[in-house]
Structures are given as C-alpha cells and as structure tokens.
Chains A and B, each alone.
Chain A
Amino acid sequence: MILSIEQDTSRFRQIVRGRIKQNLRKYISNGELIGRQGKDLVSIPIPEIELPHFRFGGKQGGVGQGPGEVGTPIGRGDPDDGSGPAGDQPGNHILEVELTLQELVELLGEELGLPRIQPKSKNRVEGEITRYTGIRRVGPEGLRHFKRTYRETLKRQLVSGTYDPERPAIIPIRDDKRYRSWKVYPRPDNNAVVLYMMDVSGSMTQRKKHLVRLTAFWIDSWLRAHYKNLVTRYIVHDAVAHEVDQHTFYHVRESGGTRISAAYEMCRDILRRDYPVEDWNLYALHFSDGENFGDDDDDRCVALLKRELLPPMNLFCYGQVQSESRRQFMDALDEVSDEKLARARIDTDDDIYAAIKTFLGKGV
C-alpha cells in the first residue's frame, strides 16, 4: 500500500537534496552531518527545514523540573535546538539517529560529482548493457510477460462476459499477449585515478591529521560508491615523498620537515608513468597545514602545478588544515589562477562538509 504522504515525503527529500526549491536550502539544519566518525555508523540529526517566522532570537532559557543547585548544567548548548526552551511544546527536537555509511554516502551524493569527467575508453571498451525496461505487444514467445498477459486476458474476459467463475479458464488470444521490451545503453567507461597526498611532517599534529583523514575518508567512500573501476594511489610526504598503501596512509605517524614539491614531483612521475592522459581522468587531492619550508619550494610547487600538473589533470584539490604559520602555502597558490585548482580551508570538523562540496561540487 502506498501512503498518500509518500508524495510529500519525496518532495521533501528533493528539497533536502537540492533538486528543487533552492531558496529553502538555507533553512535546512543538517550541518552536523559528518561531524563524528564511527566504524561505519555515524550519528546524524534528521534534516529539517524550518520556514522563517518572526520569532525570538538568541538562546532562550526556560523552566525545568528536577534536582540541582543554581549553576548546575542541564543540557548542552549545541546543537542549538537540542535543549531549547523546555518543553511545553512537543516536536522541534533534533533526534540523533544512526545512519549507515551507505545511506550517508547517498545523502552526500546527489550534489557531488567528479568535475569534468569524460569517457576515455579507447583501450577498455566495455560494450553495452541491455536492460528490460518496458512492455510491448509483439515479441518472441520466450519474452512473454506471463502476469501482464494473464491480466489482459482476464480483463478482456470480464468485460466481454466470457469469464465463468465456476470454470475460470483464462485463454489468451493474440491481442492479450504482452512481451518484455529492452533498451540498449552504451556504458561509458570513465577511467579515473585519484591521487591522495598528505603532509606528514612534524607540524602535522594528531588533530590535523584527524581532519585530513576524515576528509579523505569521506571523499574516498563517496567516490568508491559512485564510480566503478576507480584507481586510488596514496602519497605521504615530509621532506621527501613516499608512495604508500591505503592502510599506511590512514595510520602513518608524523616526523620531519616539509617540502611539498617532493610530493608534487612524485605525483607527476606516477601520472606520467602509469596513467597517460589519453586514457585516464586524473584527479589529485593534497592536504597539508601549509607550513612549507622556504619560499623557494613554494615557487617550485607553483611552477610544477602551472606547467606540468594542471594541464593534463581534471582537478587538483588543495585542502589546508589549521595553519598556525603566517606564511601559508594557501597564499602561495594565489598565483595559480586555473579553474582546475580547488582550494579549501579545513579548521574544524564543520568545515569538512564545505570542503568536500568545494572539491566535488558540481560545476566547479
């Protein structure tokens, strides 16, 4: 049974996913979407849209009941609706619910995409896929749709009065028969490689690496869920760069100085060697706290980016976490004006979502 409210629910979901009614998007409260990281469960508030009203601002108190001295805390102030004016009104509670990784990735999903991805499949033609999508009146007997045919026959017999409930024989004639029909879809093969680079120098504290890994983890999860045949490579660097496997990338400890150009050189070499631009869509993400060693190296990186990295690539993302230094690599990148370069600052957990959207948002 389909509930009549399904229509409203799907409309609501479309709004939340940004398909329609963009003007309501700013009232959606789901900022904490990927605030916490679990094994593969994440607790999130349910997205809610609150239409604007004339209402009181600020965090209001209220009246409560129970033990405690003056000054005893009774609830956290964040998220701000959690323990707002105490309940003489029901509703308006943000409920923390558990969401599986799969659901979350889907939620994240529909407004993201790998920018400028193109079919590049000279070497790996995957052919076409055939799907049964419809019904038609002619076709081979092997594709006869039994249920539809039965239904048509029954309908005809009922209408024409030849149906006898005592002897319910259902005999199809030619007009009753229904067959499955199919469509052929070409399957473009978007070969893509994504290179993750992370600064693991001494200045990258546990907290910073946590931010990087969280961001990379979500991007990685999302990409894997949406693109088949995706190749990922991982590079960590301090003063020199090493290629590592996924596990090491997410677990390595920090030490040493910082020379970003080392990583960019290695990135260039890997791409040149293994992933010719004719056959591959190339993506790279680099995370650092922006404390590069010396202006020389900044210049070197900029030159590398301009001349060798950016031209063949589809997208190069740079995410900078909690920089304490005055001289930041982020600023050095101002010199590069290329739409293929996406930059974002990630200072707190809350910035992760914005960063992902900057990197993978459609139409970047």
Chain B
Amino acid sequence: MSLSPDLEMLQSVIEGYARDFGLDFFEVRFVMLDYRMMNQVAAYDGFPTRYPYWRFGMEYERLSKSYAYGLHRIYEMVINTIPCYAYLLASNDRVDQKLVMAHVYGHGDFFKNNLWFAHTNRKMLDEMANHAARIRRHIERHGLDCVEDFLDASLSLDNLIDIHAVGIQRRAAPIPETEERETVRKLPAKGYMDSFINPPEFLAEQQRRLEEAEQQRKRFPEEPERDVLLFLLEHAPLENWQHDLLDIVREEAYYFAPQRQTKIMNEGWASFAHTHIMTEHALEPNELIAYAEHHSGTVAVHSGQLNPYKLGLELYRDIEDRWNRGTFGPEYEACENLQARREWDKKLGLGRQKVFEVRRVYNDIGFIDEFLTEDFAREHRLFTFDYNADDNVYEISSRKFQDVKRRLLFQLTNFGQPIIEVVDGNYENRGELYLMHRHEGIDLDVPFAQDTLKNLYTLWGRPVRIETKVEEQGRVLFSHGPAGGERRRLD
C-alpha cells in the first residue's frame, strides 16, 4: 500500500528536516502495511520474498501471537537497499508516523554512510527473490524434505563465517613451486668475523623458520580458515544443488552480519536523529505527550536489561557533549579535580562533527571500546550480572568499570559466538575435517556442539572433529563419523 496524500506530504517535510540535520541517505520509499503483513515481513527479516522455510513461519507465529496479546508491535522496519525501503504500520497514529519516518531517515543515513555497510549488496531485494526462486526450483527437483534437511544442516553452521573478512582479500597469492629449496643467506663477512656476524644459532633458527614455512604451505588450509562455510563450499563433496543452497545461506549470513555488528550504533543513531528532528522541528504542541510516551517506550530499560536504543543514543549524546566541551585527551584525563572536570569547557563546539564522523567509521565494538568512559558507566549505572546457581537467579555481580567494559566487549566480539576455525581439511591424511575452537574462558554448549558436528558431517561426508576445552577436563576432541559421535580427552 502506498502512502496517503497526507503522509506523502509529511514525508517530504520530514525528509527536508532530515537533510537540514545533515543526514545523507539513498531515496527512501515508505510502504504501508497492516499488522499481518508487517509481521510477515518482519519474520522474513524485512524481505517480502524469502525462500520457503519453516523458521520464518516460527518467527511469524511468535510475532503474531505476541502482537495478538499486546506484548509488542513493530512500528517500522527498514532494509538496507537502494532505494531504501521502509515499512510503516498502517495503524500508527499520525505523530507515530512522523517519529517513525524521522527514525527511518536515521537508519537510511547509517546504511549509506557507515563503512561496515560499504560492501553489502544494495540490490538485496532482487537477490533474495532470486534465492527464493532457486530454492523453489531445487525443491521441485529434489523434494521439499530433502532440501529442507540440507537447509537445516547448513543454517546450523551459518555463524561460522569470518565477519571481518567482508571486502578483504584473505587468500594469499599462490607461491610458484620452485625446484630448489630456499636456504638461509649469510651476510658477507671476513673469516674471523663470520661467527659473530652470522652466529650459528641464528642461522639454525632461520633455517628452522624456512622449513616451518615450507611445512605450512603443505598444510591444507595453509592458514586456519575462519570462513568455515567458504571452506566447505570450496572443498566439500557437494552436489550442485547443495552447493547452491550453502552458497545462498552464506551470502545471506554475510549480508546480515553488518547489521548485527552495528546494532547499538544503528539504533542509537536513528534515535539520535529522530529526537533532533522531532523536538526541534516536526513536533506540534498537541502531539507532545504522545511523542514523549512513544519515545520513552523506545528507550526504556526493562528489568535491568541493556537496551541498544538507549545505550546508543546516550553514547552519541555523551560524545557530542564531550567534543563540544573538549573533555577528552591527556590534559583532561590527568585532571583529578572533580569540580574542574565537571565544569571543564574549552568551547570546542566539535560535537556535531564528531558524532557524524563516529557513525561513519565505527562498529559496535570500536564504539564501545573508544567511547564508553568510566564517567558514562557510572552515570548510567551499568553493571555486569551473572548466574547464581544456588538461588537460580541472575544477580548483579559487579559495578566496576573495567568489568563492565570487558564483559560488554566480549559479548560484542564475534557477536558473542565462539571463534572456530578449520585447521586441517585432510586430518591424518584421511580427508577428515579438523576444527579448532579458540577457547577464551567459556566452554561450548556440549550437546549442541555434538549435534552441530553431526550436521557438519552430513555436509563434509567424511568424519569431522572439533577440538575445544572443557572446564576441569582440559582439551577435548569431539568427533562425528559414520559410527556416530565420540568424545575423547586430549591431555
């Protein structure tokens, strides 16, 4: 459904305000949807044409049930495409539509300017429709159950991508094979100086390194491979249709990755934009209460849970304030007089410029790492919480700044997912796949890991293994092969 004339006018007004504020976006097209369509589109992650798969149905059921019981509603949804499509809920009030439009322009600006989105496919609407058509064709040929089972297996591995690799050439150029072996070159020296200029230990060390490098080149893969899906695509014995399905799963996982990497920044930025547009320009006096209620609902903190809208918005505000007053740098850090710190003002007025720069170059990790200050954490009463098994509750475990920041960064690293690499695709020369979990203090969920391994086995066709650590047991190797799952301690 297209916009009513009234809303069309509203759109051009809000768009004007957005440009005045400095936002820069691709053309935004608003589409009105009723709640059912909205729930459907949301279940499809914003793309009306997705391939048939039960998980979308599950999401739809969840959304419609919680909508029916008044637990939530989706006011808007924006997707990262050119033009930028935004869906509005038809039953929104006029003031809500204003707010939502302003919010949408914030997202539009973010999608266009944030560097982490620079490599995303902006024609994803077409791409998704193509994916759906391809999968439908495979279903017709090979049967729904067959395709669905393969999708289940592939999607269970869809977090095994290298999120930092987007747009980066990760494959080193192949080194031409040479007949002669490389040897360590000695520096020219007179005979009596030789043992000082070219000490034998050093030469031996160099020789060892060369040999290691040569060994390394014989390894498969040469470097541990974070993009497990790519490795499977290149080396697993898949049929054409399976290859195609896995390719689709991988492509969509990469497409959505930047959105997950910038959740706090993106929502924060859109909220930052809508508060400015609404409170400085668009709001009519009689809409104030409704606006305030809606806005506070968006940034509300429920039972101690961190709200990305709130955290992002407050951080941008904090940055703007700090760069306006100049409360950064060694001079400020060194100042220990609280009074002076509070009244610090170098009248730099760089705030607005800084936030626009920040929204361009950071993702959530950098954003938190760089701009979450001790003052901010104290002021917003951040804490870490942990599970207390005795009482079966989650309880506040620390309010120390270092703890809070470390925990937050950990959660954002690799989306809070374990880091897993392919270290050997031909383990013990038997064509078996060997994965390594880079253990960072938290164990894998063992039953889930075993089941995931089973799915991996259906793709790889040969036995698959993952090495990890289990608390109090040390290194453990989980395997899955034709005889089923197996678990073995390594030390």
Contact = CB atoms under 8 A, between A and B. Distances in A.
Interface of A: 3-13, 15, 20-21, 24, 46, 48-49, 51-78, 83, 85-90, 95, 97-98
B57 A63 contact: no
Contacts of B398: 70
Interface string B395-408: 11111000010011
A89 B407 CA distance: 15
Determine which residue in A8, A59, A90, A97 has the highest number of CB atoms from chain B within 10 A of its CB, and name it.
A8
Interface string B374-400: 000000111111111101111111110
B304 interface: yes
B44 interface: yes
B155 interface: yes
A87 B408 CA distance: 11
Nearest to A49: B58
Contact of A88 (B303, B389, B411): B411
A15 B305 CA distance: 32
A10 B301 contact: no
Interface stretch (B100-108, B185-193, B413-421): B413-421
Given A11-B52, A59-B387, 12 more contacts: A8-B58, A9-B60, A13-B61, A46-B65, A54-B437, A54-B448, A55-B445, A64-B306, A74-B393, A85-B416, A88-B308, A89-B416
Given A12-B54, A54-B418, A97-B71, A65 B394 contact: no
Contacts of A53: 156-159, 417, 448, 452
B43 interface: yes
30 contacts: A7-B52, A8-B54, A11-B52, A11-B54, A12-B57, A12-B58, A13-B57, A20-B145, A21-B148, A48-B58, A52-B455, A53-B417, A54-B448, A57-B443, A58-B443, A61-B385, A61-B397, A63-B306, A64-B304, A64-B385, A65-B381, A68-B304, A68-B383, A73-B395, A77-B388, A77-B389, A78-B392, A86-B306, A87-B306, A88-B416
Determine which residue in A6, A15, A63, A78 has the highest number of CB atoms from chain B within 10 A of its CB, and name it.
A63
A49 B59 CA distance: 10
A84 to B, nearest CB: 9
Given A51-B155, A63-B407, A76 B392 contact: yes
A64 B383 contact: yes
A86 B383 CA distance: 11
Given A63-B411, A73-B394, A56 B54 contact: no
B60 A8 contact: yes
Contact of A61 (B160, B364, B387, B443): B387
Given A11-B54, A66-B381, A75-B393, A58 B442 contact: yes
Given A60-B442, A85-B416, A51 B156 contact: yes
A339 B159 CA distance: 46
Contacts of A46: 61-62, 65-66
Contacts, number: 233
B448 A57 contact: yes
A65 B40 contact: no
Nearest to A27: B451
B152 A24 contact: yes
Contacts of A70: 383, 396-399
Interface in B27-85: 36-37, 40, 43-44, 52-58, 60-62, 65-66, 69, 71
A85 B65 CA distance: 24
B480 to A, nearest CB: 12
Interface in B255-286: 260, 263-264
Given A24-B152, A54-B160, A54-B437, A5 B56 contact: yes
A88 B412 CA distance: 8
A67 to B, nearest CB: 6
Given A3-B36, A21-B148, A88-B263, A56 B306 contact: no
A46 B44 CA distance: 18
A69 B389 CA distance: 19
B444 interface: yes
Nearest to B305: A86
Contacts of B308: 87-88
A355 B384 CA distance: 40
B386 to A, nearest CB: 4
Contact of A5 (B40, B156, B404): B40
Contacts of A72: 395-396
A21 B55 CA distance: 13
B449 A54 contact: yes
